[in-house]
Every structure is written in structure tokens, then in C-alpha cells.
Structure 1
Amino acid sequence: MTLRFLLAPLLAFTLVAAHAQSAADLAPAGDQASRKPSTLPLKPTETQADAAQLSARFLTRFHYAAKPLDDAMSRHIYKAYLDFLDGEKVFFTEADLKAYQPLETTLDDAIWNRDLSGPFDLFNSYVQHAVERMNYARSLLPKGFDFSVDEDYTFDRKHAPWPKDQAELDELWRKRTKNDWLRLKLAGKSDDDIRKTLDKRYANYIERVRQLDGEDAFQTFMDSYANSTDPHTDYLGPRQAENFDISMKLSLEGIGAVLQQREDYIQIREVVPAGPAAKSGKVHVGDRIVAVGQGTQGPMVDVIGWRVDDVVKLIRGKKGTTVRLEILPADAGVDGKHVLVTLVRQKVSIEEQAAKKKVIEITDGGVTRKIGVIDLPTFYSDFGARREGDQDYKSASRDVAKLLGELKAEGVQGVVVDLRNNGGGSLDEANELTGLFIDQGPVVQVRKADGEVDVQGDDQPGLAWSGPLAVLVNRGSASASEIFAAAIQDYGRGIIIGQPTFGKGTVQNLVDLDRFARRGGDKPQLGELKMTIAEFFRINGGSTQLKGVTPDIGFPLNGDEKEFGESTYDNALPWTQIAPAVYQTVANPKAYLPQLQAKHDARTATSPAWKLMLDELAYYRGLREQTTISLNYAKREAQRKQQEAIQADFRARHKAIDGVDYDDATAALDDGLTPAERSLKSELKLEEEAKKAKDPQLQEAASIVSDAVTLIHADAKLAEQTLPYGGRFAHADAAPAAVAH
């Protein structure tokens, strides 16, 4: 059953909101039926019943911590399903859910008996209640609200009880709608504009909910089952499976455009360089797609009001085929002249998620040192191309090796591998990336369900980089990132800097359900199961499960650890350990760690950028901890003025540090709008400004590596202790060669 070993992040599926997000041609090709509102009630198909039952057979027999699909598991599935549908407890009441109480102990029977009518009934009820709630909110708009009343609204309802009855639910929605109005009022909108904005928002929400179909219902239910087994087991329907494959190989066949839902239109959010859309010169950011046609003569299908994933279905396709887009240009009004663009689909690389490099120059004591930075967002690998013998297959470790060669040619003296928010990917890539920084040896131990332990590692001699090394991590660094960071730490190969990592110590395998069902045809029908089949351990025998990797030099926490990470899951596997692998450390960074820590402490104590970062972290941590807010205008206005003063101070300090003039005074304040309601131009401008801002954590990591270079340059004995293998690979890199003098 070995297909692909993966150490990937949890794939989240969010109802309704998922259809308003951007996508880079990231949906499988499909039929071209018009996207009209789905006909209720939604009903399960025989294919979906087959997929559910086959998934259960795998999960109950081959999962690393297999659990029976029984009444106990049914209760977990039921709770997870409700969390997916109504996690904020704003659609259902206790009275509503009484009718579905029998599902608590019968969802196991539904799967085994291939009768999914029960979970589909609950999904249909969700759609009905969501539409009812939005219509109720719309009914409140003509009268408006009295903001002189002193009352509060609890907006964070994850841990709140279900509303008891309709009256309590109506009161909740009165406050919810009142808060939506108040946010816009505080942002300077007139009452008439607020009514129009909110009425359109709620109407659009109703339209999105009504477009949910049987595939959405089944995907949500199966995610509930898979996630109830463990946090990182997922069901991937045909569409999700192909999207996951694209995210791993960083390429697709399409036109090379990032699309985003904005009200009734699908808008071009980004044009991918060197893609067909970019090469045509006729597709621009902000353009709206109004119709799509296949080939040079196929009929044009009107896509106004469609979900973004359905539009992408029409646009993606096989390399060499033709697609026609009818576009309303960005600078044209709704009645502007349409433009017809004909494009030939090609293979498009998604370079945004590929490894990148840059050089940071650190000046200290009149000496300037070059520190190379490798930014690696994910451990990607094109499994298919590699299996077929393609010499140019996409691979994180191959790309990093190339970038290291370029950095050496530029004369860098130390390297930082930035794994912040890298949620994982390929297990093979984690092994091979580690091999770039050690000569040979084990990297990770993988224990299967039967207790057998497989020691995997690097068997290729030589290093791509043998100079000073640091790995920068945070709470979003998970799985493959933790394998790499742990191996570097266990070998003493470099220093780990940042925040404690996610704590995901499990391995997943992709199981193609169509293959095991022996179904005919080329089109996937049953989807895939991303199933936990093993647990990985450090070469020192410890696990990263729950605990993650603890940095050698810690950076301040931002509060995410309370809501984000393996320890926040109720059904996470426990921490354990096994016997260590046979390995030898290659260096001893502890020899200069106290000195590096002291220099770091002294530098950050007087750094304006570091102080600003700490102040911003404290400010936003405080905002995140709030769960209730006043609905009194005077109180909220006072709070907003206080926030405005704080934000103004932050902007002024950023300008002094970054040299960037943040000219939009309200950019950091709540404008009351949803992402789809904001101007794309202003949104992209803010993103560009954010990119220009200094990254104090990366800058400090580079300074710590520069300190290491300085220390070993001045002390040959220290260089022998802290460089790998006593510096015997010094000839490979510029930095160790300099140290030898």
C-alpha cells in the first residue's frame, strides 16, 4: 500500500467562505454545466456511498492508530460535522438539533450500510437555516439600530452553548447584524450606504450557500470522519485530490492566473509571469471574467455569479488546448466593452511556493558580512515526474541545492534556512534537504503501526553547505520542517532560532480509492484518503509529536500557541519515545551558544525594530483575547480613537525603521468590509507595502549567524568545535576557508 509518504499540514475545508478565496487555476477540469443554485434537498450518490465505505475499511484496518467505526466514533463524527457546519453556533438551536440527535450514534451505520441520507439531511438543514438567518438579518436593515443602548455582543462563540430556541437565536442575530452596521458606521459610512452594503453582503451569502452541492456535503461529512480519526487524516474528493497534487508538484496546466471571487464577478488577482495569460499581454490584474469558451469555436458559457472553483474548472485543461475568455477590463464600468482573449493552455509553474534566496548584509564593528537566506515555504516534490524519470522534476531539495551554490558564488559566510509557516510536505524531501548540510547518516526514524522502525537518512557523501547554519522556525513550522530542524539540532549541525514548532509527528500516505475499487475510466470518482500510517521520531529517539522542536535561541511568542498547534487537538496522538538511532554529532554549537545568546539579548534590548515588534505583538495579542465587544457607539468610537492613536504610532515607527511611507491612515483600522467588498487595487497596495516592511525576526536570525561567523573567525579552536566534522569540509565553502586563516 506504499504510495507516497507525506508530512503535510491539515487541509482545512471551510463552507461558503472557501468559494470566495483566490485560486491559481487550482481546480480539476470538469463538466461545463451552468452554475445555478443547487436543488434542495441534496442527495448522496452511489459513488459517494462507495467512497465512504471504502474509506472506512482503510481507516479501521490500516490507520496508524486504527479505531473501530462504531457508536463511539459516530459521536466524534457528529460533533466534528456540526463544528464544520456551524462552529460558531449561529445557525442551529438546541431545539433544531433535537431532531438530529439519533445521528449521534448512527453515522457509523450510515457509512457501513452505504446510506448517507442522514448526514445529507443535516447538511440540507444547514443550508436552509443559513438562508433563513441571512434573510432575517436583511429584514432588520430598514429599521436600523439604536446605538445609544449599552449592550455587548459576544462575537467569539466557539465555546458558547447553542441558542436554546428561535427567540434566543433572533436576539443573537440582532446583535450580530447591529455589530456589522456599527463597524461600517465607525468607518465613516452613511446609513444609506450601510444598508446597501449589508443587504448586498447578505444576499451574496445566500447565493453562495444555495450554490453548495452534493460534493460539498459529502466532502464536509467525510472530513468530519477522517479528522475524528486523527487531526491529520483527510478525505480528498476528486477536486481536492488534484489541488493537493498541484500544491506538491508546484505546477499545473492552465493559463497562469490567480482568480478571486468579488461579488458577482471572478476577477484576475494576479497574472503569473511567463504563463499564457501574461504572454498574451491581454489579461490584466483587475479584469473580470464574464464568459468562458472551449476551443476556438465552442460556445461561450456565461459565468457571472459562479463560484470561483467552477470557473477554474472551465479555464484549466490539458496542455496545448485552447480556451477563450470574455473579459470586462478592470478600468471599464459594468456596461463597458468586453474583450475576447484566446489562450493556449501550457504547463505553469507556481513559483510563489518555490524555494527562494536573498542576501542580508550585517555590519558590526566596522565589518560587513553577507548572510544568505533560503526561504522554503513547503517541502514540495513532483512525484509523478520523478517516477517517470524526468530529469528536471520539481523538488525542494534540488532547488535549495542550486540556490546554495548561487549563494556560495556570491560570497556568503553563513546561511539561514527560513522555515516559518512551512507546514511540511514530502518525507523524502526532508531527508534530502538534511543531506545538503551533513555528510552521511540517519535523519529520521519512522515507526509503523506494527511497531517496526525504519531508519531513513542521507547516503550521499558530501555537503552542499558546510559553513555556519541557522534554521528559523515558528509555530507554523510543522512535519517535514520539524524533521529537518530536529535533525540539524540533534547533529549539532546548526542552531535553531525562533518559536517552538507545531508538534506534528505523524506520517500520512495518499491512498487512491479508485485504484483499490478497480473502477474503470480515466476520470477520478472516489477521491483519495490522506491517512496517518506512521509516526516519525528524531534520531535521538524523542518525538516531535505535541512538543515540537524547541529552539536553541527563542523568540517571543505571539499567542498562536493557544489556538494553533498539535496540542490544541483533542484527539492528537500522545508524546512518546523510542531508542535512538546510531549516529554521531558533527559539531557542538553549544560551544558558542551562550555567547550568541548574550549578543542577541544585548542587540534586541536596544533595537527599535525589535521593540516595535514586541509592542505590536502585545497589542494584537490583546485584541485576539477579546471575545466580547460593546454595541454602544460612544464606547466603540472611544476605543477606535485609542486604536487609531496606537496605529498612528506604529506607522510612524515603521516609517522611521523601514523607510516606507504608509500613507493610508485607516489601513490598519477596521473598515467593516469583507475581503470581497474591498477595492482590489487598495488590497494589493497594502500587500506590497507589507512586503517592503522590515522583518525583524529574519534580520535578527541573520545577525546571530553573523555573530557565529565572527566568533569562529577569531578562534580556530571554536571553529573546529562548531563547524561540521571539525571543519574538514572547509574547502567547500567560502566562510570556512576564511575561518582557516
Structure 2
Amino acid sequence: MKKNFKLLMLAVFVAAASCSFTTKSFEDPDKDKLLIDLITYVLEKGHYDAKQFDDSFSEAVYKDFINNVDPIKRYFLASDIAEFEQYKTSIDDQLLAKELDFFNLVYSRLDQRIKEAQTYYPEILDKPFDFSVSEEINVDYENLPYASNKKELKDRWRKQLKYTTLSTYYDNIEDNLFKIENEEDYTPKTKAQLEADARETTLNSFNDNYSFVNDLERNDYFAVFLNSVVTQFDPHTNYFAPPDRDRFDLQMSGRLEGIGARLQKQSDYIKVVEVISGGPAWRGEHIEVGDVILKVRQEDETDPTSIVGMRVDDAVKLIKGPKGTQVTLTIKRVDGTIEEETITRDVVEIGETYAKSAIIEKEDRKFGLINLPAFYFTMQDYEERNAAADVKKEILELKQQGMEGLVLDLRNNGGGSLRTAVDIAGLFIKEGPVVQVASNGKRKEVLSDRDSEIVWDGPLVILVNDASASASEILAAAMQDYKRAVIIGSKQTYGKGTVQNLLDLNQWLRNNDMGDMGALKLTTQKYYRVNGGSTQLEGVKSDVVMPGRYAYLDIGEKEYDNPLPYDKITPANYSPYDGYIDYESTIKRSNERMAKSAELKLIEENAKWIKQRQDENVVSLNLEAYTQAIKDREQYAKRFDVLEDYQSGLNFKSLPKELGLIEIDSTLGQNRQRWHKNLRSDIYVEEAVSVLEDLKLNNIRQGSLAKIKD
């Protein structure tokens, strides 16, 4: 993937943070070999476009694995790389022979270099930095050569730590000046004290993060290696170690069974960082943010298990459990008191994962807006909960409130279930094909809406941006091909036109005594629009283009290594929607408005400026120059303040069903207030409403639809 690493304080730990987590704490070469055997077999037999294991494949794996474990070149030396290169073209042979010489060498050397690095940063941070000297750091890590020796490597660490500390030092200076001016009893700190405070902050951050790094095991890095292999087939084929598979299930369903809290490891302790609204811990007021969990006891146990010093994933495994079971936690409160809390586990739904809606009021007219963050569904039972059923409910409630047009917001929706995309499309058309799916480049299948019911037959606008991907693109493309909706947003969407299936690797094993082998998310199909075109790489082109702040950044499928190519197939048999009488002219009028929009011109200028800033790779470590650069950016950024202050004049309200929930859930109320505030300054939603006003319905057509529904 093309990358521009603008990494600051935590950059050294990017590789660690991307690792998968397993629960085995010992090395098991036989399991590793079995995993390689399973994965290579499934890839060769099941991938949509299986690749040859050859020298070029080997070189790609070699490059990606080293980059994944040391992305900013703060561990390996040039001599290490020279030693690794003996395997550059033989990794394919090793995979076929189930040999791990390359992985073992890189892992053992990385482990050695990480331990060495842990001696660098405390020593460097023990002495004050001189921010008066003229010095720079180059953050273009991708093109940075590896350090030739330890002295050079240590100097890179010095610059990185100085850069991190400089950022905090600058903030400390600004905070000190503010308190001098606004707090009568404040005792000003000297520059030396402020610099020492900044170094201490950096030291604490690196200590916390090395606590995380030190919890990583060989299996974690082996999962990174396996992903370096499988992503050569395409960027969406991934290996999931067992806990990662659970996270994927949560991401797809938006729900889990447990106590309803987010946990994070700080030093040796497991700390509560969020209590999920509506969950059992929240309902019973058992725990609060800041509490530390010391011990966990299951309902069938007499002695609790201490989780002090435990990996956070292992602690979570003990705390979560099936609905209806109980767990007793020994908790250290923020005030230092220690108490026991018994919590009955339940299904916990992550509310912000699900569809939400608002009534839009413009003068005496009402419109509806549904925000859909993902195409979710319950993995075990589609009918239990899915995005399509939820969207349908929201539409019906909005209709009861008298909405005259609907905005479906798919911005930043990365996709999810293919079936939900088809089902949601069916809410807006009588029946017909929605998407075409091809397997192994040969046969194709047409997925259709076969339900003649139309839940919403009025004006429809769909909002998209560069991050709208996969199932979002399926839905937007279908509505565009049918001319059922006007698509407003970025020049094109993400461009992911492939379908993945999650395969449990354990299904190929009998009498497995090596533990859970995890799962492989495998690209098995490509999907195509009903007009025969692919969204792969090309995305969906908006009818009305409204570039966002990140319009010029490298976002999308085309920025990955190894994407599948764009192609076309024959169109499906479908008839465009004829419920509008001025579809094309409405799009034309909207584009004309946008061409004259001063706000949109400013947004585009802001996008170009953001791109320019992203491309700046050299940063001064001199306080005066660093400060001046910040002041210059702040001064230039003021020209964009008008965008934050912009008010559309639209009013947004929650549905009656939600108002009752807000009365008992202050967190939900705060979330909705923030959302409505952002919507009032959202120029994209404002234009969507204008388009809804412009779209005129064919009354004869609508009358016939009503008869069909009756």
C-alpha cells in the first residue's frame, strides 16, 4: 500500500498495534506448519484469482513482512536486512515445504532489537533536549534507508523522541502562558520545568506502549507473517487469529455478550475506559470509567483469578461470557477502595453501529435522514437483527412523521453484508436485479429483490464519500442504475468490488488437539452493477460531485498493493425507475448550484491545503521554527473557520420513539445533540434536501404503485 507515515508519539508501535492476538503463550512449530498447510491449501483452491507461489511472490512477502514489523525503520539495521535478503526469493519454497527459517530469523532479530531499543529511550530522555539548535527530522520513513550501525540508529531514536517531546513542550508553554494570564494564584513554571515535564510525558507514553509490546508473543508476529502472505492474493484476504475472528464478528453484528465495558491495559493493570450505554454494567451501575479490575471469578468457581499483568485480550476472555451467566469482579475504584461486583452478562449492543434517523424540518416541510454506518447483521442468525430490517423500521417511523423525501447517508460506511445491501435496495424498488456476482471469473449469479413491496416510493438521495465502500457501493450503484436515487458526494467512492467469505480453518481438521486455528477471510467473488460495470477500482461516480476535506488524499482500493483489476460483464435485465419526471434536470440544477457555491470552493481549497501539508516530510526540531510553522498554519487555517460556523437553517429532531430513551440515557442524548449540531452545518445534507425538493414525482406512476401495494 502506498503510505505516507505522518507518525508522531506512538509511531514506533504501529507494527505492534497491527498484530493479531492469540492466547497460546508457548511456541508450537507443529501448529505453525499446520496453519501454513491449511492456509496455502485454502488459498489455492478457494481464492477468486489464485496466484502462483514463485520468486516474485516471495519478494513481495519478504518486503511486506519486514515493513509490517518495522514500518518506520527504528529497529533493524542495514546489516540485518542484508542477512534477511538470503531468503528474498525462497520464501515461496519454504511455504510449500512448511519451513519457517525466514520468519524465525526475522522474529528473533526483531525481538533482540526491541530489547535494545528499550534501553535507548530512557537513556535519551534522561537528559534535557536543546531546542535552540537548528535540526530537522525526516518523517518520510518509506524512503528512509536503514541505519548503518547502532550509533546511527540511536540518533534516529533521539530525533524521534525529541520530535515527540517538542510537541508536548510547545503545548506546555502555551498552557503555562494561558494560566499566567487567567489564574491569579498560579505559580509560573520555568522553561526548564516545562521541558522536563514534556520529557516525562514522553517517557510515560513509551513505557505504557512498551508494556503492550512486551505482551506480544511469537504467535502474534506469526499472524503478521501469515497476513503478509495472504494479502499478496488481494488486500482483503486476511488471516484472523481466534480473538481477531471474535472482533470481526463484533464489527459485523455490532453486538457481543458480556458486561458492556471497554478495557485497556495501563502498565500492569486492566482499566475501564468506557462503560457501554445500555449494557449490564451500565444498568447496574457496577463500574465506572477509571476503575481498575484486579480479579475475575466465574460463577462456578470459588477462587478468583488475578488479571494483574495479564494481556488485555486474555483478561477480556475471562470477563466476557454467554448471556445469563454471572461474573464477579474485584475492582479498585478511582478513590482507592476495593470492592467486589457481581454482574449478570447480557447481550451488549454497540448503539452507534446501528442505523439512526432524524427528522429534517425546513420551513413547513419535513424530510427524513437515515445514517447507516455499516451493513451489519447478526452472524449466527440474520433474522435476529440486520441493517435492512432496521432501515425499514426507521423509514416507517419517518413516514408516520410526514416525511416528503429521504436522505440515506452512507458516508464513511465501509460495507458489510452483501445480503443486507440487496434487501435495502428492495425497500426502494418494486423488484428486480440489484447486483451481479461472479465466482472465479466464470459463471455469474444475479441477486435480485423479489419482494414487490416498496417501503419508500418518494424522492431519495444517497450521500457517499471516498470511504463509502463495498456494500455501500452496491446499494448506491443499483439506485443510480435504476435512476431511483440521486447520488451526492465525492468524485468516486472507495472502489472495492470484491466479496469475502469468512472460513473457519478448523473445519478441515479432525480430532484437532492443537487448539483453535482461527479463520481466513477469503476473496471468493467479484460483484458487478446491474449495468455490467464493476465498482472495483472505479467506485461509484456521484451524480452531483461535492468534494470533501480529504478529496486529494490517497484513499481507496487503487492505493493498495495487489488489488483485483477492473472489468465488465454483460448487463442484467432491468428497467429503470420511472417514478420521477425530472430526474436529469434535477441533477443538472444541483450541479449548477454547486458550481456557484462559495462554501464548496472553500472546502476544495481546504482539501488541497490538507494534501499539501500531508506531503511535508521534513519537520524542524528548533522551537522557534516549529512555533512559527504552527502559527503560520493557524493563521492560514482561519480562512476555513467560516465552514465550521456555517449554518444551513435546517432543523433536526429525533423520532418520538427515541425521545423517551433520551430521557433515561444521558449519553444517548449527548450523542444525538452532537449529531444534530453537526448536521445543521453540513452543506452536503443541505444540498440533499434541496435535491429532494426539486425531485418531482410522476403522480400517475405513484398512483399505480399505490394500487399495487394495496
* Residues 257-292 of structure 1, C-alpha deviations (whole Å, 9 max, x = no match): 122344544332322233210121121223222332
TM-score (normalizing by structure 2): 0.85
Query: Structure 1: how far apart are the matches of 2:270 and 2:673?
Result: 25
Aligned twin of 1:480: 471
The one-letter code sitting in structure 1 at the alignment partner of 2:200 is K
Q: 1:105 to 1:437 in 2, by over 3 A?
A: same
Give SS of 1:326's match.
strand
Aligned twin of 1:592: 586
Between the two proteins, what is the percent identity of the paired residues?
34
Aligned twin of 2:42: 58
Say if 2:462 is the partner of 1:471: yes
Q: 1:129 to 1:205 in 2, by over 3 A?
A: farther
Pick the aligned partner of 1:382 from 378, 382, 385: 378
Give SS of 1:100's match.
helix
8 Å contact 2:457–2:702 — kept in the other structure?
A: no
Say if 2:533 is the partner of 1:542: yes
Aligned twin of 2:313: 309
Q: 1:638 to 1:701 in 2, by over 3 A?
A: closer
TM-score (normalizing by structure 1): 0.82
Aligned twin of 2:104: 120
8 Å contact 1:447–1:534 — kept in the other structure?
A: yes
Query: Structure 1: how far apart are the matches of 2:154 and 2:555?
Result: 32
Query: Structure 1: how far apart are the matches of 2:94 and 2:648?
Result: 58
Q: 1:725 to 1:435 in 2, by over 3 A?
A: farther
Say if 2:35 is the partner of 1:45: no
Query: Structure 1: how far apart are the matches of 2:77 and 2:115?
Result: 15
Give 1:540 shift.
Answer: 0.6
8 Å contact 2:478–2:530 — kept in the other structure?
A: yes
Say if 2:351 is the partner of 1:351: yes
8 Å contact 1:466–1:724 — kept in the other structure?
A: no
Query: Structure 1: how far apart are the matches of 2:648 and 2:15?
Result: 34
Q: 1:651 to 1:541 in 2, by over 3 A?
A: closer
Task: Tell me whether 141-150 or 300-309 shows the greater mean CA deviation.
Answer: 300-309
Task: Tell me whether 309-318 or 259-268 shows the greater mean CA deviation.
Answer: 259-268
Pick the aligned partner of 2:619 from 629, 647, 658: 629
- Counting only pairs closer than 5 Å after superposition, residues 576-725 of structure 1 correspond to structure 2 as 576-587=567-578, 589-602=583-596, 604-605=597-598, 613=603, 617-645=607-635, 654=644, 657=647, 691=675, 693-695=677-679, 699-712=682-695, 718-720=696-698
Q: CA RMSD in A?
A: 3.2
Pick the aligned partner of 2:62 from 44, 57, 78: 78
What is the number of residues matched between the two proteins?
A: 657
Say if 2:388 is the partner of 1:404: no
Give 1:352 shift.
Answer: 1.9
Give 1:732 shift.
Answer: 9.7
Say if 2:216 is the partner of 1:212: yes
Query: Structure 1: how far apart are the matches of 2:594 and 2:62?
Result: 50
Q: 1:63 to 1:248 in 2, by over 3 A?
A: same
Q: 1:70 to 1:614 in 2, by over 3 A?
A: closer
Pick the aligned partner of 1:194 from 194, 198, 210: 198
8 Å contact 2:15–2:69 — kept in the other structure?
A: no
The one-letter code sitting in structure 1 at the alignment partner of 2:213 is V
Aligned twin of 1:320: 324
- Counting only pairs closer than 5 Å after superposition, residues 14-33 of structure 1 correspond to structure 2 as none
Aligned twin of 1:160: 144
Give 1:398 shift.
Answer: 0.7
Give 1:560 shift.
Answer: 5.8
Give 1:382 shift.
Answer: 1.7
The one-letter code sitting in structure 1 at the alignment partner of 2:379 is F
Aligned twin of 1:228: 232
Give 1:220 shift.
Answer: 0.6
Query: Structure 1: how far apart are the matches of 2:504 and 2:270?
Result: 32
Aligned twin of 1:337: 337
Give SS of 1:370's match.
strand
Query: Structure 1: how far apart are the matches of 2:441 and 2:355?
Result: 36
Query: Structure 1: how far apart are the matches of 2:540 and 2:700?
Result: 21
Pick the aligned partner of 1:507 from 494, 499, 509: 499
8 Å contact 2:534–2:568 — kept in the other structure?
A: yes
Give 1:429 shift.
Answer: 1.0
The one-letter code sitting in structure 2 at the alignment partner of 1:312 is V
Give 1:16 shift.
Answer: 5.1
Give 1:553 shift.
Answer: 0.7
Give SS of 1:229's match.
coil
8 Å contact 1:466–1:730 — kept in the other structure?
A: no
Task: Tell me whether 62-71 or 402-411 shows the greater mean CA deviation.
Answer: 62-71
The one-letter code sitting in structure 1 at the alignment partner of 2:523 is T
Query: Structure 2: how far apart are the matches of 1:203 and 1:329?
Result: 23
Aligned twin of 1:252: 256
8 Å contact 2:648–2:686 — kept in the other structure?
A: no
* Residues 674-717 of structure 1, C-alpha deviations (whole Å, 9 max, x = no match): xxxxxxxxxx99999965652478x43443343344334xxxxx
Give 1:116 shift.
Answer: 2.7
Query: Structure 1: how far apart are the matches of 2:702 and 2:585?
Result: 13
8 Å contact 2:500–2:524 — kept in the other structure?
A: yes
Q: 1:636 to 1:687 in 2, by over 3 A?
A: farther
Give 1:172 shift.
Answer: 1.8
Aligned twin of 1:11: none
* Residues 441-488 of structure 1, C-alpha deviations (whole Å, 9 max, x = no match): 001111111510111111111211111111111111111111000000
Q: 1:485 to 1:703 in 2, by over 3 A?
A: same
Gaps of 5+ in 1: 1-13, 32-37, 387-391, 660-683, 713-717, 734-741
Aligned twin of 2:272: 268
Query: Structure 1: how far apart are the matches of 2:640 and 2:339?
Result: 44
Give 1:74 shift.
Answer: 1.7
Say if 2:88 is the partner of 1:104: yes
Higher relative contact order (CA 8 A, sep 6+): 1
Query: Structure 2: how far apart are the matches of 1:216 and 1:646?
Result: 44
Query: Structure 2: how far apart are the matches of 1:524 and 1:472?
Result: 45
8 Å contact 1:437–1:464 — kept in the other structure?
A: yes
Gaps of 5+ in 2: 1-10, 174-193, 650-667
Give 1:188 shift.
Answer: 1.4
8 Å contact 1:226–1:235 — kept in the other structure?
A: yes
Give SS of 2:270's match.
strand
Pick the aligned partner of 1:421 from 412, 427, 431: 412
Say if 2:705 is the partner of 1:729: yes
Q: 1:15 to 1:358 in 2, by over 3 A?
A: farther
Query: Structure 1: how far apart are the matches of 2:148 and 2:369?
Result: 55
8 Å contact 1:238–1:526 — kept in the other structure?
A: yes
Give 1:516 shift.
Answer: 1.6
Task: Tell me whether 426-435 or 194-203 shows the greater mean CA deviation.
Answer: 194-203
8 Å contact 1:15–1:85 — kept in the other structure?
A: no
Query: Structure 2: how far apart are the matches of 1:27 and 1:177?
Result: 28
Query: Structure 1: how far apart are the matches of 2:380 and 2:369?
Result: 29
Aligned twin of 1:369: 365
Q: 1:58 to 1:263 in 2, by over 3 A?
A: same
Aligned twin of 1:446: 437
Say if 2:174 is the partner of 1:170: no
Aligned twin of 1:677: none
Pick the aligned partner of 1:140 from 124, 130, 137: 124
8 Å contact 2:498–2:526 — kept in the other structure?
A: yes
Q: 1:369 to 1:265 in 2, by over 3 A?
A: farther
* Residues 642-666 of structure 1, C-alpha deviations (whole Å, 9 max, x = no match): 345566776787468599xxxxxxx
Q: 1:599 to 1:130 in 2, by over 3 A?
A: same
* Residues 399-440 of structure 1, C-alpha deviations (whole Å, 9 max, x = no match): 111111011011111111111111111111111111111110
